[in-house]
Amino acid sequence: MPLQLNDSSSANFIQEIIENDIKSGKYNGRVHTRFPPEPNGYLHIGHAKSICLNFGLASQYNGLCNLRFDDTNPVKEEAEYIDSIKTDIKWLGFDWDDRLFYASDYFEKFYEYAVQLIMDGNAYVCDLTPDQIRQYRGTFKTPGKDSPFRSRSVDENLDLFSRMKKGEFKNEEKVLRAKIDMSSPNLNMRDPVLYRILHETHYRTGDTWCIYPTYDFAHCISDSIEGITHSICTLEFEDHRHLYDWVLDTLGIYHPQQIEFARLNLSNTVMSKRRLLDLVKQGLVTGWDDPRMPTLSGLRRRGYTPEAIRDFCDRIGVAKRNSIVDVALLEHCIRENLNKTAMRVMGVLNPLKMVIVNYPDDKEEELDAVNNPEDPAMGTRKIPFSKVIYIEKDDFLEDPPKKFFRLALGREVRLRYAYYVRCVDVIKDDTTGDILEIHCTYDPETRGGSSPDGRKVKGTIHWVSAAHAFDAEVRLYDHLFKEKGSDSDGKSDEMALNKDSLITLHSCKLEPGLKEAEKGDIFQFERVGYFCVDNRVSSPGHPVFNRIVTLRDSWKKIKNRQRQ
């Protein structure tokens, strides 16, 4: 079944363009897109938007989407990124089948097209230094000046260009430039550089080449070669469209249509490679796959599912205006996904010991618990209960405020799937006053959690039997930045890092079955949140849990309101 974008909502502007093109018979009704990453870094959720868009459009209109590595700059690109990019795209749920391409595979063709441009008098070899080229280009307000090398003969250009290829010149000594218009109001049209000399080993072509095409020359031709119909890119390339069109038109070759959309910005995080790299380099995160990172590898490690990310990409829409999407929407998507699929389990993050004084000392029993109330097919399991258990510190308050439904001295609550318990005593440290443990009595009649006399309790709390508990490390993650901002608002450099973006808890008390949890397993710790077994630091018998996202917490809201 094809993955559908906006299946029930209205078409976005790109879908509209495509539908019109299909109707008018442009490209004979074909739809062929491509996702063209440069192998110089890790994919993040912004790329996911582009991947979902390109592959989604292709699937929606019975077309194809290529994966093409845009590898025309040997200085920046490395083979190690190829695999991670492929892994991430597949993980997201998309497949390029046999259409894996590399711009570097077209180097020979690019060269031939460049020669054609020269022969037609549309390109020339220029000896200006980078600095001089900049000066000759002019400014926003002043037109540029023609390069003194602009009028070289075709033969001389041909000779020089082939000698550039042979390696007779040093970096920056010569470039091949398009001959367009040095007074164009669009700076991209002021005789842009098409080829530069780079004595550099390319990760795929090795030392075969020492001249490399620029993006503007390579990208449009790559699209043309592959028969792309709709070449979708981000807004900053709008100005480049004129050049895209110029190259293809003057070469007289197949001409795809470039369409630009706004890239994704997410609140409380940053997306630019530079800022992400800063975080890694400064050791503010543990790496590109740190569970707090918006990279796909980070989100995967955190426990985000491909389904949730695809759903998110569908919901944010596609448009041309710059915007910052609230990270709350992403969190909504993963909650909605996991609510239906995650196994429920009990885990106490900040343990408080509870002794059930009227429960027999050495008695143990097995209670039935539902694995997922949203999906009865997931069945039930047994959980051990005994005299001493742990509950969450937050679930007991000596001085409970209004609307606090949990445990307090004299109050009765339900222990989930177990019994009603009433707090009869609070044991404190004489010197510090800290609560050491609480004493409760239980009502044997309420086994399973309901009372034969119809007596109701307002609160239900989770617990883990002390004797059976499995101790584990749990990592609580929060947004990288406290402010709602993102890259695009220009404030991201000043945004303060959230110092509490990672809180590591040791010896959390989890129900015993969790000891066997394996890397990548996802659970809902009831009343707390969704957790995923870390795929790096966990080992058999020693799972480490990452908090993916908390459960919605209406008590927290009430509490915060009361505080105001």
Partner RNA sequence: UGGGGUGUCGUCAAGUGGUAAGACACGGGUUUUUGGAGCCCGCAUUCGGAGGUUCGAGUCCUCCCACCCCAGCCA
Annotated catalytic residue, options 179, 190, 241, 263: 263
Quick one: which of 3, 26, 38, 116 contacts RNA (CB under 7 A)?
38
Q: According to CB under 7 A, which residues from 127 to 186 bind RNA?
A: 128-130, 133-134, 137, 139-141, 171-175, 185-186
SS3 122: coil
Q: Shortest approach of RNA to residue 10 CB, angstroms?
A: 4
Q: How far is CA 407 from CA 373, 454, 529, in A?
A: 24, 20, 20
Residue of 193, 378, 426, 497 that binds RNA (CB under 7 A) = 193
Give the shortest CB-539-to-RNA separation in angstroms: 28
**Catalytic (active site) residue 38:** yes
Q: Which of 79, 154, 187, 357 binds RNA (CB under 7 A)?
A: 187
Q: Does 188 bind RNA (CB under 7 A)?
A: yes
The interface with RNA within residues 483-502 (CB under 7 A) comprises: 488, 490
Which residue stretch of 93-101, 155-163, 321-329, 435-443 sits at the interface with RNA (rule: CB under 7 A)?
A: 321-329
One-letter amino acid identity for 418? A
Is residue 277 a contact residue for RNA (CB under 7 A)? Answer: no
Nearer to RNA, 290 or 419 (CB): 419
Window contacting RNA (CB under 7 A); options: 91-99, 126-134, 157-165, 472-480: 126-134
Q: Is 275 a catalytic residue?
A: no
Out of 28, 539, 554, 564, name the contact with RNA by CB under 7 A: 554
The yes-or-no answer on residue 80 being catalytic is: no
Interaction between residue 459 and RNA (CB under 7 A): yes
The two tokens of residue 40 are 């110089």
Distance between CA 349 and CA 472 in Å, rounded? 9
Q: Give residues 396-435 in contact with RNA (rule: CB under 7 A).
A: 403-406, 414, 416-417
Contact pick of 78, 207, 249, 336 for RNA (by CB under 7 A) = 336
182/191 Cα distance (integer angstroms): 6
Q: What is the largest distance, in Å, between two alpha-carbon atoms of the chain?
A: 102
> Looking at beta carbons only, is 216 or 290 nearer to RNA?
216
Tell me, what DSSP letter sits at residue 476?
E
Distance CA(544)–CA(31), nearest Å, equals 45
CA distances from 48 to 24, 103, 298 (A): 30, 21, 13
Catalytic one among 170, 273, 536, 552?
273
> Which of 97, 236, 362, 430 contacts RNA by CB under 7 A?
236
Contact between 313 and 54 (Cβ < 8 Å)? no
**Considering only 356-364, 377-385, 446-454, 473-481, which stretch makes contact with RNA by CB under 7 A?**
446-454
Cα-based torsion angle of the residue sequence 40, 45, 46, 51 in order, rounded to the nearest 10 degrees: 80
Q: Which of 554, 542, 537, 534 is nearest to 510 (CA)?
A: 542
Choose the catalytic residue: 26, 30, 38, 275.
38
Is 326 an interacting residue with respect to RNA (CB under 7 A)?
yes
Closest to 65 in 3D by CA, of 101, 98, 34: 34
Smallest distance, RNA to C-beta of residue 290, A: 24
Binding mask 17-36 for RNA (x = CB under 7 A): -------------------x
Q: Find the DSSP H helices in 190-295.
A: 215-225, 241-251, 273-281
Among 59, 66, 73, 104, binds RNA (CB under 7 A): 73
Given 286, 323, 341, 386, the residue binding RNA (CB under 7 A): 323
> What does each C-alpha distance from 94 to 66, 87, 160, 173, 262 come to in angstroms?
11, 10, 45, 43, 22
Give the 3-state secondary structure percentages of the chain, helix then strand then coil, rounded to 5. Answer: 30, 25, 45
CB of 88 vs RNA, minimal distance in Å? 17
Side-chain-side CA neighbours of residue 210 (13 Å): 15
Binding residues for RNA, rule CB under 7 A, total 99
SS3 356: strand
Catalytic sites, residue numbers:
38, 263, 273
